[in-house]
């Protein structure tokens, strides 16, 4: 495949594995197709790329870039699973844990939570040096079918993009700046919006954490039998290569 | 394994629910194997309240919510070569640390005690007083993870950690083979 | 300590207790901007100026008029410091809270205002007359302490002048009357000079010496776009805003991009603390700036330009509008400039609203588009797809001025000045502990010592070159040269004498970056808060020796994973002082004893409980008796 003369396809490598990409593809898109998993939180299948969580940081041509937004380049060698990059990623995941209130033992999303699963994958088990910011944000349970606990929000913005681009609604958006920046709803509270429990933005796959809560279905699947109890995050992608 | 000299271990439960100590019992029949490697010194399991001699490993459940927790933790640090934080409360404060985030008034501790003993919706406290026996340790301004009070050498995650991860980690530590956790074993719930 | 997260939860909207605003008035404001969502910042600024608040109901109306959702409007309104979701006073007084102002007696000035007006900073008086607040550097460090009073600047305040100013405002004097009783009769240039001194201490050959009018533009008019770009390339001109990208190359990239439209944007969002050189160029060389933009437009084939003026420089708005108007009258802007067919170019002024990040190229473009000032994903680069998706050249004020002069005097003339790789002259804005703060136009290549001699800063112990995102150096580095390859700077030179507390300065700069991070990416949004808290621990004497490694380690993660230049440089105050002033860190750290953290303060941790229980600790109070 290397030095391919195919009109649209070209080759590059990730950790030495040769991967084919097509013009306009990002590093992550090409990697996903090839069965190479690059950790990510804000990026999600079917949604616009945002490049905000930075967990997908890889080294391409010697520069650190976000794999979800960086176009793949012919012949480039990309580093992904290196101790150095995984250390950076672990720092980022830990930052997100400490920015909000992430109490896994009491969270309904535990076991299905991508933030938690990423911490498992990246081995976030050493004594922390980061302070806990312990925000105090009100719960919005105004909607009959949906509740929002933004204490668990990691500002990935997946709900914003899903609502805008898939549902055509715009229920969510970012407000504020810096450490005060967060996801808010298009109205006084969630009941004041046109959000519905059937929205893609509300579905369990879009919110990676336990921030968007669908009422009356909690704990249907017991702890211990959930998605990431069955396998590490990213295993579906990695299995493509096996 | 059995020819190794036995290690001394100690355990304590600070601001925790004793669930992590229960989880130690989840090691089940492998406890016999473990007991071939260790003697248990100060611990609720032995009901020994003081260290009888210096220990190799101290295992701490729970974070620090009051002065006694701090005192015990410091005592463990002085008397143990290796200190292990066992479970989410010891590691990051856990459920007791919820009060850190909830209370942002000028007098957070007062607010917390009032809600817990007087004003809370489901409180039936006919004395309308916050308990204040002189034997009660003073509460800390917030709940601290163990690593903020003393140096912690290892953390075993979980709420509670599984018997498997406790057994695996302890036996590997005792035999000098611990190289970190298998990702599949790590659980925060 | 503020965890930076208290207050509104982002779900419920803030309340704005003002009289309902008639829909027709809001509709008129929106209509005046063509109901164009890309002019959202102008719309919101006007609403803020007129009603002192952007209320939720107002956001609904603006959303309806511009075809957006309310949350999108709120996203913009809640991003910029000068816009407020809660009502501000009829007169809002913003104290410049730069470290230089603090060292020039800001605290006393603030107290004088607070005493006279009867409110604390951060508050609005109950009658809705006054608001007091802090704002980061407003570009007046050479005449600190300074305040913004609505659109008026007052500099060089003392306790006495602060008192008299506050008294006058309380008696009903308008901010404009503070400047002059005949404010209306003054020209915009006179008004600007009444408010703010130029403090030009050394005029160089290129910018601040005599400059013939439009000589560069006249020559450029006779050249092809390629010839113009070649001249700028050959001059060696590099961007003067801080990053130092080669200007000619930028223009060539944009010119070679085939598109329906091209844009030229001037970055006058001079926000790096301690930088105020563009302020002086905007005041004294506005024609040269527009000339340079017009030349760039000819070079890249742009018909539209935007001059992005930081909100803090609103006092220069009239002056610049007048210059633009005059140039349109003289056929130096508009259709067929200088009578040349197809040489069409005009400029609109875009005012910012208090956001340092908008100095970043992509964030500046976002802001021009009516969005929150968030940097854009690169690639595509602005020269390929910038403003509204069109190829866009963004250059600093000084860069455009240089370009105009290069076209007049020739590339060689410029190239011969300075050093290899750093050609021409540079404006340095010098402030802090020196006798002659102000503007110095010098060729590149002077050493810091030489500059310090000129400014009367001989007893400097530390110099911050390039502002907080630059480098803090100690005396042993004063021989270093002010060039792109050695000590690069967008212009800021801040001098500190031996009495200044380095850790205090570093903590201030970190709080600045926390305040100004846009919050888009994790490392910059969260990591900078951690750095700020860590420095606070050092200042409180609660740091371990290992915390020095922690600072370096966390900084490395922030620098490597951040999305834009802010996060890539925000740890610099820490890293450069760790390198050049290691002792200030090591002397305050406390090693652990018996592996017990000495930094955990049990006494303060139990103090609250001691007071509630009205008893002492039987463990930690040594004098405890039953």
Q: What whole-number distance in Å separates Cα of residue B83 and Cα of residue B60?
A: 7
At residue B104, does pLDDT exceed 90? no
**CA nearest C360: which of C384, C396, C399?**
C396
CA distance A146 to chain C (A): 14
Burial of C160 (0-12, 13-18, 19+ CB in 10 A): exposed
pTM of the model as a whole = 0.95
pLDDT in tens, C92-128: 999 999 999 999 999 999 999 999 999 999 999 999 9
Asked if the domains at A9-81 and A89-220 fall in one CATH topology, the answer is: no
Q: What is the pLDDT of residue B101?
A: 83
Q: What is the pLDDT of residue C134?
A: 98
At residue C11, does pLDDT exceed 60? no
At residue A193, does pLDDT exceed 70? yes
Average pLDDT score over residue span C17-22 = 73
Quick check: A47 contacting C, CB < 8 Å? no
Q: What is the pLDDT of residue C242?
A: 84
Quick check: A60 contacting C, CB < 8 Å? no
pLDDT in tens, C537-590: 999 999 999 999 999 999 999 999 999 999 999 999 999 999 999 999 999 999
At residue C168, does pLDDT exceed 60? yes
Q: How confident is the model at residue A5 (pLDDT cuts 50, 70, 90)?
A: very low
Residues of B in contact with A126 (CB under 8 A): 155
Q: What is the dihedral of CA C234, C240, C242, C244, to 10 degrees?
A: -10
Are residues C389 and C272 both part of a single domain? Answer: yes
Asked if A54 and C518 come within 8 Å (Cβ–Cβ), the reply is no
Quick check: A90 contacting B, CB < 8 Å? no
For C431, the enclosing helix (H) or strand (E) is strand C425-432
End-to-end CA distance of chain A: 19
Are residues C403 and C445 both part of a single domain? Answer: no
Q: Which of C80, C525, C561 sits opposite A181 (nearest CB)?
A: C525
Q: Which residues contact C553 (CB under 8 A, 6 or more apart)?
A: none
Q: What whole-number distance in Å separates Cα of residue C479 and Cα of residue C449?
A: 6
Quick check: A183 contacting C, CB < 8 Å? yes
Asked if A178 and C516 come within 8 Å (Cβ–Cβ), the reply is yes
At residue A211, does pLDDT exceed 50? yes
Least confident of B92-106, C48-62, C443-457: B92-106
Are residues C233 and C378 both part of a single domain? Answer: yes
C626 lies in a domain?
A: no
Quick check: A111 contacting B, CB < 8 Å? yes
Q: How confident is the model at residue C599 (pLDDT cuts 50, 70, 90)?
A: confident
Q: In chain C, whose CA is at the least distance from the CA of A148? A: C11
Q: How confident is the model at residue C18 (pLDDT cuts 50, 70, 90)?
A: low
Residues of B in contact with A221 (CB under 8 A): none
Q: Which of A116, A126, A232 sits opposite B188 (nearest CB)?
A: A116
At residue B128, does pLDDT exceed 90? no
Q: How confident is the model at residue C10 (pLDDT cuts 50, 70, 90)?
A: very low
- Helix C56-66 with C40-51: angle, nearest 10 deg: 150
Segments forming the whole domain that contains residue C109: 94-187
Quick check: B104 contacting C, CB < 8 Å? yes
CATH of domain B7-96+142-185: 3.40.50.700
Cα angle C373-C375-C376, degrees, rounded to a multiple of 5: 125
Are residues C468 and C563 both part of a single domain? Answer: no
At residue A115, does pLDDT exceed 60? yes
| Sheet (strand C263-268) strand order | C346-351, C304-309, C263-268, C392-396
The one-character DSSP state at C238 is B
Of C394, C416, C438, the one marking the end of a domain is: C416
Q: Across all residues in chain A, what is the average pLDDT?
A: 95
Least confident of C141-150, C298-307, C357-366, C612-621: C612-621
Q: What whole-number distance in Å separates Cα of residue A173 and Cα of residue B135?
A: 52
Are residues C179 and C220 both part of a single domain? Answer: no
Asked if B88 and A105 come within 8 Å (Cβ–Cβ), the reply is yes
Q: What is the pLDDT of residue A242?
A: 74
Least confident of A29-33, A137-141, B121-125, B143-147: B121-125
* CATH 3.30.70.20 given to domain A89-220: yes
Quick check: A137 contacting C, CB < 8 Å? yes
Average pLDDT score over residue span C212-238 = 97
Q: What is the pLDDT of residue C243?
A: 85
Q: Residue C550: which CATH number? A: 1.20.1440.230
Q: In chain C, whose CA is at the least distance from the CA of A41? A: C522
At residue C15, does pLDDT exceed 80? no
Q: What whole-number distance in Å separates Cα of residue B31 and Cα of residue B24?
A: 9
Q: What is the pLDDT of residue C3?
A: 41
For B58, the enclosing helix (H) or strand (E) is strand B55-61
pLDDT in tens, C362-374: 999 999 999 999 9
Q: Which residue has the tokens 């097509």?
A: A22
Domain residue limits, chain A = 9-81, 89-220
Are residues C233 and C305 both part of a single domain? Answer: yes
**CA nearest C601: which of B152, B149, B108?**
B149
Average pLDDT score over residue span C517-526 = 98
Q: What whole-number distance in Å separates Cα of residue A26 and Cα of residue A21?
A: 8
Asked if B152 and A127 come within 8 Å (Cβ–Cβ), the reply is yes
Q: What whole-number distance in Å separates Cα of residue B9 and Cα of residue C296?
A: 75
Q: What whole-number distance in Å separates Cα of residue C576 and Cα of residue C552?
A: 10
Are residues C343 and C433 both part of a single domain? Answer: no
Q: Across all residues in chain B, what is the average pLDDT?
A: 94
Q: Which residue has the tokens 């996203």?
A: C75
At residue C6, does pLDDT exceed 80? no
Instruction: Give how many domains chain C has, as a whole number.
Output: 5
Q: Which residues contact A199 (CB under 8 A, 6 or more apart)?
A: A162, A163, A167, A169, A171
**CA nearest C225: which of C393, C356, C101?**
C393
Domain residue limits, chain B = 7-96+142-185
pLDDT in tens, C332-351: 999 999 999 999 999 999 99
Asked if C71 and A170 come within 8 Å (Cβ–Cβ), the reply is yes
At residue C5, does pLDDT exceed 80? no
Quick check: A139 contacting B, CB < 8 Å? no
C72 lies in a domain?
A: yes
C43 lies in a domain?
A: yes
Average pLDDT score over residue span B106-121 = 90
Q: What is the pLDDT of residue C4?
A: 41
Are residues C361 and C350 both part of a single domain? Answer: yes
At residue C1, does pLDDT exceed 60? no
Q: What whole-number distance in Å separates Cα of residue C16 and Cα of residue A3?
A: 63
Cα angle C491-C497-C503, degrees, rounded to a multiple of 5: 85
Q: What whole-number distance in Å separates Cα of residue C278 and Cα of residue C195?
A: 16
At residue C7, does pLDDT exceed 80? no
C460 lies in a domain?
A: yes
At residue C475, does pLDDT exceed 90? yes
Least confident of A6-10, C77-81, C288-292: A6-10
pLDDT in tens, A40-53: 999 999 999 999 99
How many DSSP H helices and E strands does chain C contain?
A: 27, 16
Residues of C in contact with B74 (CB under 8 A): 596
At residue A4, does pLDDT exceed 60? no
Q: How confident is the model at residue A38 (pLDDT cuts 50, 70, 90)?
A: very high
Tokens representing C392 are 């866009």
Q: Count how many pairs of residues, chain A against chain B, have C-beta atoms within 8 Å.
A: 66
Q: Which of A53, A129, A135 sits opposite C550 (nearest CB)?
A: A129
Are residues C374 and C236 both part of a single domain? Answer: yes
Quick check: A230 contacting C, CB < 8 Å? no
At residue C71, does pLDDT exceed 50? yes
Are residues C220 and C73 both part of a single domain? Answer: no
* CATH 3.10.20.740 given to domain A9-81: yes
Asked if A92 and C561 come within 8 Å (Cβ–Cβ), the reply is yes
Asked if B189 and A111 come within 8 Å (Cβ–Cβ), the reply is yes
Q: How confident is the model at residue B102 (pLDDT cuts 50, 70, 90)?
A: confident
Name the percent of chain C lying above pLDDT 90: 94
Backbone angles phi, psi at C461, to 5 degrees: -105, -25
**CA nearest C553: which of A126, B138, B153, A56?**
A126
């Amino acid at each position: 495949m290397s030095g391919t003369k195919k009109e649209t396809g070209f080759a590059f490598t990730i950790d030495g594995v040769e991967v084919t990409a097509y013009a306009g593809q990002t590093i992550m898109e090409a990697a996903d197709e090839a069965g190479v998993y690059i950790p990510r939180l804000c990026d999600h299948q079917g949604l616009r790329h945002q490049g905000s969580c930075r967990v997908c940081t890889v080294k391409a041509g010697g520069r650190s870039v976000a794999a979800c937004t960086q176009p793949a380049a012919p012949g480039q060698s990309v580093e992904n699973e290196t101790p150095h990059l995984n250390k950076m990623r672990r720092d980022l995941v830990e930052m997100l844990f400490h920015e909000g209130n992430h109490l896994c033992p009491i969270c309904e999303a535990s076991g299905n939570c991508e933030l938690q699963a990423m911490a498992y994958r990246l081995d976030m088990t050493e004594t922390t040096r980061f302070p806990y910011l312990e925000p105090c944000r009100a719960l919005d349970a105004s909607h009959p079918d949906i509740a929002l606990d933004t204490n668990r929000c990691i500002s990935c913005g997946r709900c914003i993009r899903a609502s805008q681009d898939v549902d055509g609604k715009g229920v969510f958006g970012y407000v504020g700046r810096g450490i005060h920046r967060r996801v808010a709803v298009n109205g006084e509270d969630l009941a004041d919006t046109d959000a519905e429990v059937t929205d893609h933005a509300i579905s369990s796959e879009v919110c990676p954490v336990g921030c968007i809560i669908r009422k009356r279905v909690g704990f249907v699947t017991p702890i211990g039998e959930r998605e990431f109890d069955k396998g590490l995050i990213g295993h579906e992608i990695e299995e493509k290569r096996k | 394994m059995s020819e190794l000299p036995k290690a001394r271990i100690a355990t304590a439960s600070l601001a925790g629910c004793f669930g992590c100590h229960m989880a130690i019992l989840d090691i089940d029949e492998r406890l016999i194997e473990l007991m071939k490697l260790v003697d248990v010194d100060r611990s609720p399991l032995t009901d020994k309240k003081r260290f009888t001699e210096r220990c190799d490993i101290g295992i701490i459940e729970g974070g620090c919510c009051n002065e006694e927790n701090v005192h015990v933790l410091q005592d463990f640090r002085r008397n143990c070569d290796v200190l292990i934080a066992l479970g989410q409360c010891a590691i990051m404060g856990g459920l007791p640390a919820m009060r850190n985030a909830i209370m942002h008034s000028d007098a957070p501790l007062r607010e917390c005690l009032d809600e817990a003993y007087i004003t809370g919706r489901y409180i039936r406290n006919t004395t309308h007083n916050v308990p204040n026996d002189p034997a009660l340790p003073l509460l800390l301004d917030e709940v601290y993870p163990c690593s903020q009070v003393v140096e912690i050498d290892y953390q075993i995650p979980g709420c509670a950690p599984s018997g498997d991860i406790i057994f695996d980690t302890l036996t590997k530590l005792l035999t000098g083979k611990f190289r970190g956790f298998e990702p599949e074993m790590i659980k925060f719930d | 300590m503020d965890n930076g997260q208290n207050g509104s939860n982002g779900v419920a909207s803030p309340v704005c207790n003002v009289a309902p605003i008639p829909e027709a008035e809001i509709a008129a404001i929106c209509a005046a901007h063509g109901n164009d969502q890309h002019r959202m910042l102008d719309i919101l600024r006007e609403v803020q100026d007129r009603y002192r608040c952007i209320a939720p109901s107002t956001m609904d109306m603006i959303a309806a008029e511009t075809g957006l959702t309310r949350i999108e409007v709120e996203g913009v309104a809640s991003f910029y410091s000068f816009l407020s979701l809660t009502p501000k006073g009829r007169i809002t007084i913003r104290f410049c809270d730069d470290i230089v102002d603090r060292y020039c007696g800001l605290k006393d000035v603030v107290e004088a205002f607070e005493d006279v007006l009867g409110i604390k900073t951060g508050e609005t008086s109950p009658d809705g007359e006054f608001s007091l607040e802090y704002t980061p550097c407003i570009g007046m460090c050479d005449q600190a302490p300074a305040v913004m009073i609505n659109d008026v600047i007052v500099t060089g305040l003392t306790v006495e002048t602060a008192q008299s100013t506050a008294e006058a405002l309380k008696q009903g004097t308008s901010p404009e009357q503070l400047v002059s009783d005949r404010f209306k009769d003054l020209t915009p240039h006179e008004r600007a000079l009444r408010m703010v001194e130029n403090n030009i201490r050394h005029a160089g050959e290129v910018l601040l010496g005599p400059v013939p009018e439009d000589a560069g533009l006249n020559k450029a008019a006779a050249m092809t776009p390629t010839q113009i770009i070649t001249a700028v390339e050959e001059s060696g001109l590099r961007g003067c805003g801080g990053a130092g990208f080669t200007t000619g190359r930028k223009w060539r990239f944009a010119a070679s991009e085939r598109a329906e439209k091209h844009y030229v944007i001037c970055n006058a969002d001079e926000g790096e603390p301690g930088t105020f050189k563009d302020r002086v160029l905007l005041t004294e060389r506005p024609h040269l700036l527009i000339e340079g933009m017009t030349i760039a437009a000819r070079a890249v084939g742009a018909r539209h330009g935007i001059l992005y003026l930081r909100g803090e420089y609103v006092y220069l708005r009239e002056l610049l509008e007048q210059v633009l108007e005059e140039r349109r009258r003289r056929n130096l802007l508009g259709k067929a400039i200088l009578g040349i067919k197809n040489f069409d170019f005009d400029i609109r002024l875009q005012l910012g609203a208090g956001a340092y990040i908008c100095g970043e190229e992509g964030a500046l473009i976002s802001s021009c588009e009516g969005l929150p000032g968030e940097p854009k994903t690169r690639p595509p680069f602005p020269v390929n797809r910038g403003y509204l998706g069109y190829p866009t050249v963004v250059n600093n004020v000084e860069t455009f001025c240089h370009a105009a002069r290069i076209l007049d005097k020739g590339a060689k003339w410029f190239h011969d000045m300075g050093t290899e790789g750093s050609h021409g002259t540079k404006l340095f804005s010098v402030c802090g502990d020196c006798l002659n703060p102000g503007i110095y136009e010098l060729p590149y290549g002077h050493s810091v010592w030489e500059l310090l001699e000129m400014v009367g800063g001989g007893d400097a112990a530390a110099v911050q070159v390039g502002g907080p995102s630059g480098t803090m150096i100690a005396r042993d580095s004063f021989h270093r040269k002010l060039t792109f390859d050695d000590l690069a700077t967008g212009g800021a030179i801040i001098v500190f004498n031996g009495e200044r507390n380095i850790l205090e300065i570093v903590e201030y700069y970190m709080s600045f970056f926390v305040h100004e991070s846009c919050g888009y990416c994790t490392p910059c949004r969260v990591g900078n808060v951690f750095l700020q808290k860590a420095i606070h621990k050092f200042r409180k004497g609660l740091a371990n020796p290992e915390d020095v490694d922690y600072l370096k380690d966390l900084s490395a993660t922030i620098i490597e994973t951040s999305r834009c230049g802010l996060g890539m440089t925000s740890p610099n105050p820490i890293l450069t002082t760790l390198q050049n002033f290691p002792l200030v860190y090591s002397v305050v750290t406390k090693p652990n004893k018996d592996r017990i953290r000495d930094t955990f303060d049990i006494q303060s941790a139990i103090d609250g409980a001691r007071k509630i229980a009205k008893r002492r600790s039987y463990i930690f109070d040594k004098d405890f008796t039953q």
